């Protein structure tokens, strides 16, 4: 019997693939023994790039390890290297390979929207797709930066922030008008032309032209004073004062940078922090720090290049991107960002002047942020080690799942799951569970917990029966005593996953913090000493689960309170529902209306009016 030749792996396997490649640009994937993606890379010349692995030309310690684990490869050619770069980073975000730099925080950034679907435009915070009609200004680093700017705009330009429905229903000015934060367009306190002039000035402010606005306001105030319109002159004087106060707060803003992102990278101890500062209209609109996941021993230019492409994958780059470190190919990155923006993007590393000073400030923030994070991580690791010691766990848990339920007399019942690990809260892994079981007695906490755990682990077993992913917990914390722990143990035994440790956290005497009792299967309840850091850590875990569950319950309850019978009618969406309620005053009045009356409402056709009429008459 002839033995089959040994299967090639590592450098030998890669050398065999090189024979099939040409000099086209493209993307390659290295796969492990079970088909898992180890690494995704791009190349200007696929044959030359892959040949370097076959020849053992490694520039970091992680590459030999990655090559030795390679059992197969995949290739995809592209027309240009820019296409290869963009495809590479899309695949990295999708596949999350072990040896690539990965930007883990992919949240959208808020904008300010001047909504122009109404004669009196509304100004508001906006996050997500830019589908609403109006002008968008941003991005801002976070909600705090947006709220501060909106507050400034209200003080200086008196723009409304109420919804169109509230605007239409007002019969007298609201409190914002009384405290001089709104010009009162809802009740005719300002003409449409004058209000749109305020909107125009606000947009100039957002574009960084506040000096011109101040000069115009001063001229208007002088003219009003000469005409003896003293009340109007006083109002203009107050707006000038507010604008001056805003400008004094913004004294740290750049003078020569109208629109740019400042991107600074600091590395230490195998970790990296990237700080991004947003400059728009010569104003700083906040900063955000990121901690990309590293494959191990990457250079600064590799990390910076991976970050930039992934960061701008779902964002439009500004006209200028200023860096603390270069990238592997500045021209290629400049072309990629310009293609994404649809216009020329300046990419550079300033060496002197205001730009270099601003990037240096961002770099200092990156260094300080990483130092704080490393300190917090060390503290978190000590707490996890203490938790393992206190509860006889095999080692510090990498993933702790904490469960809690929330309801009022069984109504609007929900379950919540929060996740914590070595880096603190993992909020992207939090989950909500609407309790669906019809056989659960209202208020039956055991039944609710059984449904939540059954749904959670049934799905885990289906998606990852071999427990290879990081989605499997090392520890379960349950808000409850012996009864809850026994119920959870029974559920886990039925599912065949009895090897996951679980702890019940029960309020002790007088339900006071610090007197908690801990319950485990087959062991007596016990308590930790009052000043034990591990006790405080468990309290924080339990309280976060409670916060998450009760917040979910309140949202569900609020939605139920605002529900009407109109929600059950096909074809009646949010806009038509608002129109019907505004016209008739209540859902009860709608239910008693005739077809002709229903047709009098904007957007209600004869067919839909008949459908609404029939719905309320069975």
Digit-coded pLDDT (tens) for 568-587:
787 787 788 888 887 887 77
Percent with pLDDT over 90 in the chain: 26
Poorest-pLDDT segment among 124-128, 214-218, 467-471, 586-590: 214-218
Whether 147 is covered by a domain: the verdict is no
Quote the CA–CA distance of 41 and 51 in Å, as a whole number: 13
Please report which confidence band the pLDDT of residue 251 belongs to, taking 50, 70 and 90 as the band edges.
very low
Quote the CA–CA distance of 305 and 326 in Å, as a whole number: 8
Tell which wins on pLDDT, 386 or 509: 386
CA atoms within 13 Å, Cβ hemisphere of 123: 27
Of 65, 95, 125, which residue sits at a domain end?
Answer: 95
Quote the CA–CA distance of 157 and 104 in Å, as a whole number: 39
Predicted pLDDT at 595: 85
CA distances from 409 to 138, 450, 551, 616 (A): 45, 18, 16, 30
What's the domain range around 319? 259-372
Quote the CA–CA distance of 261 and 307 in Å, as a whole number: 13
SS3 548: helix
Quote the CA–CA distance of 10 and 176 in Å, as a whole number: 69
Whether 280 is covered by a domain: the verdict is yes
DSSP state of 350: -
452 and 569 together in one domain = no
State the CATH number of the domain containing residue 298: 3.30.420.10
pTM of the prediction? 0.72
Whether 379 is covered by a domain: the verdict is no
Whether 607 is covered by a domain: the verdict is yes
Whether 494 is covered by a domain: the verdict is yes
Scan for tokens 């914002």, then name that residue. Answer: 176
Poorest-pLDDT segment among 57-61, 148-152, 183-187, 303-307: 57-61
Of 372, 388, 418, which residue sits at a domain end?
Answer: 372
SS3 255: coil
* Other CB atoms within 10 A of residue 582 CB: 13
Whether 254 is covered by a domain: the verdict is no
Predicted pLDDT at 349: 94
* Other CB atoms within 10 A of residue 340 CB: 18
Phi and psi at residue 358, in whole multiples of 5°?
Answer: -65, -40
Task: Return the percent helix, strand and coil in the chain, to nearest 5.
Answer: 45, 20, 35
If we measure between CA atoms, which residue out of 270, 277, 312 comes closest to residue 292?
A: 270
Q: List, for residues 459-501, the tens digit of each pLDDT value.
A: 888 888 888 778 899 999 988 888 888 888 888 888 888 888 9
94, with CB counted inside 10 A (0-12, 13-18, 19+), is exposed
Tell me the sheet residues that pair with 420: 400, 425
Of 45, 65, 95, which residue sits at a domain end?
Answer: 95
CA distances from 156 to 132, 139, 221, 236, 237 (A): 25, 21, 14, 9, 10
Output the six-digit token pair for 86: 């963009």
Quote the CA–CA distance of 257 and 139 in Å, as a whole number: 16
Q: List, for residues 159-170, the tens digit of each pLDDT value.
A: 998 888 888 888
CA distances from 490 to 94, 498, 521 (A): 37, 9, 10
Tell which wins on pLDDT, 513 or 290: 290
DSSP state of 443: T
406 and 554 together in one domain = yes
299 and 335 together in one domain = yes
467 and 514 together in one domain = yes
Tell me the sheet residues that pair with 135: 114
Q: List, for residues 151-203, the tens digit of each pLDDT value.
A: 878 888 889 988 888 888 888 888 888 888 898 999 998 999 989 988 988 88
572 and 518 together in one domain = no
Poorest-pLDDT segment among 230-244, 296-310, 424-438: 230-244
Q: List, for residues 442-452, the tens digit of each pLDDT value.
A: 667 777 888 88
Q: How many residues does the chain have?
A: 618
554 and 603 together in one domain = no
Mean confidence (pLDDT) of the chain: 84
Whether 204 is covered by a domain: the verdict is no
542 and 569 together in one domain = no
Quote the CA–CA distance of 481 and 495 in Å, as a whole number: 22
User: Is residue 4 over pLDDT 50?
Assistant: no
418 and 539 together in one domain = yes
433 and 539 together in one domain = yes
492 and 606 together in one domain = no
Phi and psi at residue 218, in whole multiples of 5°?
Answer: -65, -40
Number of domains in the chain: 4
State the CATH number of the domain containing residue 591: 1.10.150.20
490, with CB counted inside 10 A (0-12, 13-18, 19+), is middle
Read off the pLDDT of each residue in 297-324 and give the average, rounded to a whole number: 90
Whether 384 is covered by a domain: the verdict is no
Predicted pLDDT at 509: 60
406 and 543 together in one domain = yes
Quote the CA–CA distance of 281 and 210 in Å, as a whole number: 10
447 and 519 together in one domain = yes
State the CATH number of the domain containing residue 466: 3.30.420.340
Poorest-pLDDT segment among 209-223, 246-260, 348-362, 387-401: 246-260
* DSSP string across 59-93: SSTHHHHHHHT--EEEEEE-SSHHHHHHHHHHHHH
């Amino acid at each position: 019997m002839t033995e089959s030749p040994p299967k090639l792996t590592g450098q030998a396997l890669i050398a065999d693939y090189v024979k099939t490649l040409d000099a086209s640009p493209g993307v390659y994937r290295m796969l492990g023994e079970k088909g898992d993606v180890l690494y995704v890379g791009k190349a200007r010349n696929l044959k030359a790039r892959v040949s370097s692995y076959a020849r053992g030309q490694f520039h970091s310690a992680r590459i030999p390890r990655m090559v030795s684990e390679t059992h197969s490869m995949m290739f995809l050619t592209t027309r240009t290297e820019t296409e290869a770069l963009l495809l590479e980073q899309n695949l990295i975000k999708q596949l999350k390979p072990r040896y690539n730099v990965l930007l883990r925080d992919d949240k959208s950034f808020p904008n300010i929207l001047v909504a122009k679907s109404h004669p009196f435009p509304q100004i508001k915070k906006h996050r997500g797709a830019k589908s609403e009609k109006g002008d968008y200004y941003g991005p801002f680093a976070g909600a705090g930066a947006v709220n501060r700017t909106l507050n400034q705009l209200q003080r200086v330009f008196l723009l409304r922030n109420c919804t169109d429905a509230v605007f239409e229903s007002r019969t007298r000015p609201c409190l914002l008008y009384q405290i001089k934060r709104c010009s009162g367009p809802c009740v005719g306190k300002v003409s449409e032309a004058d209000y749109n002039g305020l909107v125009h000035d606000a947009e100039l402010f957002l574009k960084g032209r506040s000096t011109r606005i101040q000069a115009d306001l001063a001229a208007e105030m002088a003219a009003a004073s000469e005409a003896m319109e003293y009340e109007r002159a006083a109002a203009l004087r107050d707006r000038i004062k507010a604008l001056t106060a805003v400008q004094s707060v913004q004294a740290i803003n750049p003078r020569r940078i109208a629109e740019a992102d400042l991107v600074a990278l600091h590395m230490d101890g195998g970790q990296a922090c990237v700080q991004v500062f947003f400059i728009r209209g010569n104003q700083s609109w906040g900063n955000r720090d990121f901690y990309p996941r590293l494959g191990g021993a990457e250079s600064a230019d590799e990390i910076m290049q991976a970050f930039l492409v992934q960061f701008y994958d779902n964002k439009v780059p500004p006209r200028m991107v200023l860096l603390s470190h270069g990238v592997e190919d500045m021209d290629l990155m400049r072309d990629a960002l310009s293609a994404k923006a649809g216009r020329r993007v300046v990419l550079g590393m300033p060496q002197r002047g205001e730009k270099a000073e601003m990037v240096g400030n961002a770099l200092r923030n990156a260094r300080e942020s990483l130092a704080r994070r490393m300190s917090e991580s060390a503290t978190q690791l000590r707490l996890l080690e203490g938790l393992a010691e206190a509860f006889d766990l095999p080692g510090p848990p990498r993933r702790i799942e904490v469960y809690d339920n929330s309801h009022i007399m069984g109504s609007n019942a929900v379950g919540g799951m929060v996740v914590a690990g070595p880096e603190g809260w993992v909020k992207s892994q939090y989950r909500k569970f609407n309790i669906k079981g019809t056989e659960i007695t209202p208020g039956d906490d055991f039944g609710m917990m059984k449904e939540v755990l059954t749904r959670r682990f049934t799905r885990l077993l289906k998606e990852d029966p071999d427990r290879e992913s990081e989605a499997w917990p090392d520890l379960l914390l349950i808000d409850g005593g012996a009864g809850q722990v026994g119920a959870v143990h029974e559920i886990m035994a039925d599912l065949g996953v009895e090897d996951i440790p679980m702890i019940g956290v029960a309020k002790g005497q007088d339900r006071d913090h610090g007197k908690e009792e801990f319950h485990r299967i087959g062991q007596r309840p016990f308590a930790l000493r009052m000043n034990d850091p591990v006790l405080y850590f468990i309290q924080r875990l339990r309280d976060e689960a409670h916060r998450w569950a009760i917040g979910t319950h309140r949202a569900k309850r609020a939605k139920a309170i605002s529900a009407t019978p109109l929600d059950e009618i096909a074809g009646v969406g949010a806009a038509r529902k608002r129109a019907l309620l505004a016209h008739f005053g209540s859902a009860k009045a709608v239910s008693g209306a005739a077809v002709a009356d229903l047709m009098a409402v904007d957007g209600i056709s004869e067919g839909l009016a008949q459908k609404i009429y029939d719905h309320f008459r069975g």
